[in-house]
Structure 1
């Protein structure tokens, strides 16, 4: 509960800072810049996830997670990986330029923007900086010392925001977003070494430690690739079918939705995962009951917000942004339905702690295949909003597999699954009331 509370506080504060930053920047920068930055960030994250060895997760679950020799080997692997990713990013820029010059990319696509290669060259520093982060961060997560991690991340974010606002005051270009992100990473990496307790890192290599990293990492490698294609595949696919302006509008809707989804995923990975692991080791027979106990508050939050935003997404965007971003509201309404499915991510973590990572990989693969089919099909049938609907619908077929495996391993409780569904209806009612109240206030203000 303590770790969950700090995760909740940290995420809400972080998203508040991010929203404030976004509200300021959208009034100073044009939508195209947000589309370019969104794609650039996806590429950087994609490169990282396509080479993810689960170093943090390995420290959390390993019996040697506090062994200095093991930690130093992890840190050395992490640094090498960071420099490799920076180089690969530069290679990607070269390939992108070749594709653009040969006409393989539509000139209306965000991938054809002249700014994208320049932004990527500078952002190639990000994985190098992140690779230098201290393993003290993972050790603090292992011990559920979320207060220290949250404080560090918020301080780094505030420094990045201050730097970005200072830059945009003098130069209203996309470089404010780019340099602000890099500066935030530098602050986070520096603080991870300076303020967290624990063993100081130094370059070291032990074959036994590396073998353990590789054995665990090969499964995380596959899961990470599928996870990236699922979590970022929407933007990769939509970036190819939407214009730069439409994709910029989608990125705003996705940003608002991601602030909610990110909270759920943080609770699942930072709290539910280590908690379920400890429960499974200590008392496997109680796993099902504890699983539903952990999931209950997540269910309430997801279903309530999904219903609320499905009714009030357009009104919410209208309150926060100017008229140029109104179309983002309808996109937000549709995206909110994904929250109905995201809450089952706790089951994925449960399969991992039970030593069944293949199940999680199959669930991810199912969702990815449906995304590849339904996003282009949705765009062909109903344009931009049809593509967004295709993305949302692609999340639901995987529920069949989820329930199949829960029944197979005796993890299903039908009453608890059905008992929370009316919360969605309550969300719809609250969203309708919110719309009515805002319209009434607007009418009174006009009169």
Structure 2
């Protein structure tokens, strides 16, 4: 990225992009480092089933967030009224109302969800975890204003501080309670810490309740497709836990969840960067195609390199970091990391649609990915267990890519050279890594 930095330093927008990207990398790297450290401590205090239960709790809370997302963040990022106090306060009021509704719905789902997954503890843990949804609804729109203007420094520090507070509480409670309750309460404390810190230390006017009809209309018009997109994104991002939680034991689901954290690190890093910087880039520099192409190549190159390193080192890394109960996770890391290559190649294009206010095509991509992923996950895990499920994920991403290309071509964002080079290099290396770890991958068929 060094050469790219020199080439982009001249433009004010691109300079802000690079600064923001640096902060995102620091923030995401710090966040994942904290998560890894907490995982290493917590896996020695708790049991694999605890992480399986927590995956199911997260399935509901994250699912509700996605099923109710009305696109407030991208609306503020792309709207001409994104700095208007009336617009921001109306958006915040909708967000608060949403948090109250989510808390109520989560509490109502606790008993049926516990019965469906045959895990009675969920009836107790879900209402507690849902408190975090209620708290998050009161987060100030100053967070989204910082994203809109690519001013990430202070926000990154506050996010990491909130996460650290939550992790410390989680570890202390795990030592004291020896229960999944420690993980649930830690999540609530993290949400509360972020709320307090962002209200206290982010610059800007405090939000107040406001309901301006014009702002509501704009938010709803843009957000209706975001709502549908994120509802389908639930199946794409959480569908693996939903399906595997029904077909596999809590122990195997817990091992998968730990492995996914390692395997998806690079892909989620790339998603964090593209999701925050590409909308302003497409919005304000859409004619600077050469610079955008170099930025895209740079992001994809870094993310794919990290993904392939994780695929190659997965079994060794899990063996070093975790105790023997999690040994099967090493092969899962390898297979998952390779399966995510197609998603990484196309991850920057959908932001072009959002930057242009085209949330409808963004929805089509999300819906396609979700339908493919759930279909191939169910077929794969039914026929071939864990291996079949992960291969299903890879096939879903491959079949989604032509839909992403359709979106990108519509907004003059598709870079065929980028896709071909990345697919050829990363695909070849990924296949070689799978062949190298083939025996460990085949052994995954024993998981149930």
Preserved CA contact (<8 Å) 1:54 1:221 = yes
Asked if 1:129 corresponds to 2:135, the answer is yes
Residue of structure 2 equivalent to 1:14: 31
Change in CA separation of 1:91 and 1:178 when aligned onto 2, cut-off 3 Å: same
Task: Judge conservation of contact 2:63–2:234 (CA < 8 Å) in 1.
Answer: yes
Which sits farther off after the overlay, 356-365 or 176-185?
356-365
Match of 1:316 in 2: 317
In the alignment, the residues of structure 2 paired with residue 406 and residue 136 of structure 1 have an alpha-carbon distance, to the nearest angstrom, of 30
TM-score normalised by the chain length of structure 2: 0.88
Counterpart of 1:372 in structure 2 is 374
Report how many residues are paired.
Answer: 418
Q: Please say if 1:347 is aligned against 2:349.
A: yes
Q: Give 2:255's match in structure 1, choosing from 227, 234, 249.
A: 249
Using the alignment, how far apart are the partners of 2:433 and 2:387 within structure 1?
Answer: 21
Q: Secondary structure at the match of 1:345?
A: coil
Q: In the alignment, does 2:273 pair up with 1:272? A: no
2:13 corresponds in structure 1 to none
Matched, 1:196 2:202: yes
Q: Distance in 1 between matches of 2:334 and 2:56?
A: 22
1:155-234 correspondence to structure 2 within 5 Å: 155-234=161-240
| SS of structure 1 residue aligned to 2:349 | helix
**CA deviation profile, 1:76-112 (whole Å, cap 9, x unmatched):** 1111111111000011113335xx2xxxx4xxxxx21
Mapped partners of 1:183, 1:355: distance in 2: 35
1:440 is aligned to: none
- Over aligned residue pairs, what C-alpha RMSD do you find? 2.2
Q: Distance in 2 between matches of 1:351 and 1:202?
A: 31
Distance between the aligned counterparts of 1:233 and 1:191, measured in 2?
A: 32
Superimposed CA distance per residue, residues 27-60 of structure 1 (whole angstroms, 9 cap, x where no aligned partner): 1101111011111112111111111111122222
Q: 1:423 to 1:194 in 2, by over 3 A?
A: same
Quickly say closer, same or farther: Cα 1:420–1:42, change in 2 above 3 A: same
TM-score of the two chains, using structure 1 as the length reference: 0.88
Report the CA distance shift for 1:205/1:366 in structure 2 as closer, same or farther (over 3 A).
closer
Report the Cα distance in structure 2 between the residues aligned to 1:227 and 1:429, rounded to whole angstroms: 28
Residue 207 of structure 1, CA deviation: 1.6
Per-residue deviation at 1:185? 0.7
Structure-2 change in CA distance of 1:328 and 1:196 (3 Å) = same
1:429 offset after TM fit, Å? Answer: 11
Q: Which residue of 1 aligns with 2:87?
A: 70
Alpha-carbon deviation of 1:401?
A: 2.5
Structure 2 residue runs without a partner (length 5+): 1-17, 438-448
| Deviating more after overlay: 161-170 vs 151-160 | 161-170
Counterpart in the other structure of 2:158: 152
Partner of 1:443: none
Q: Which moved more, 1:121-130 or 1:343-352?
A: 343-352
- Contact 2:226/2:363 (CA < 8 Å) preserved in 1? no
Q: Distance in 1 between matches of 2:352 and 2:84?
A: 26
Q: Give, in angstroms, the shift of residue 312 of structure 1.
A: 2.7
Deviation at 1:113, TM superposition (A): 1.3
- 2: CA distance between counterparts of 1:379 and 1:256? 21
Residue 116 of structure 1 pairs with residue 122 of structure 2: yes
Distance 1:176 1:310 in 2: 31
Q: Secondary structure at the match of 1:27?
A: helix
| 2:103 aligned to which of 79, 83, 86 | 86
The match for 2:444 is: none
For residues 317 and 259 of structure 1, the distance between their equivalents in structure 2, rounded to whole angstroms, comes to 14
Q: Which moved more, 1:61-70 or 1:215-224?
A: 61-70
Q: Distance in 1 between matches of 2:260 and 2:234?
A: 15
Give yes or no for contact 2:314–2:333 (8 Å, CA) kept in 1.
Answer: yes
Aligned match of 1:417 in 410, 419, 436?
419
Q: In the superposition, relative to structure 1, how do residues 404 and 55 fare at CA in structure 2: closer, same or farther (>3 Å)?
A: closer
What's the counterpart of residue 307 of structure 1? 308
1:343/1:414 Cα in 2 relative to 1: closer, same or farther (>3 Å)? closer
Task: Map Cα deviations across residues 105-163 of structure 1 (whole Å, 9 max, x no partner).
Answer: 4xxxxx21121121101011111100111111111111111001101100101111111
Instruction: State the 1:323 CA deviation.
Output: 0.8
Distance 1:30 1:336 in 2: 25
Worse-superposed segment, 351-360 or 256-265: 351-360
2:46–2:174 contact (8 Å) kept in structure 1: no
Contact 1:272–1:349 at 8 Å: present in 2 too?
A: yes
CA contact (8 A) 1:304 1:426 kept: no
Distance 1:128 1:405, change over 3 A: closer
Rounded Cα–Cα distance in structure 1 between residues aligned with 2:309 and 2:264: 16
Q: Which runs of 5+ in 1 are unaligned?
A: 106-110, 436-447
User: Are residues 358 and 216 of structure 1, via their aligned partners in 2, closer, same or farther at CA, if it must alter by over 3 Å?
Assistant: closer
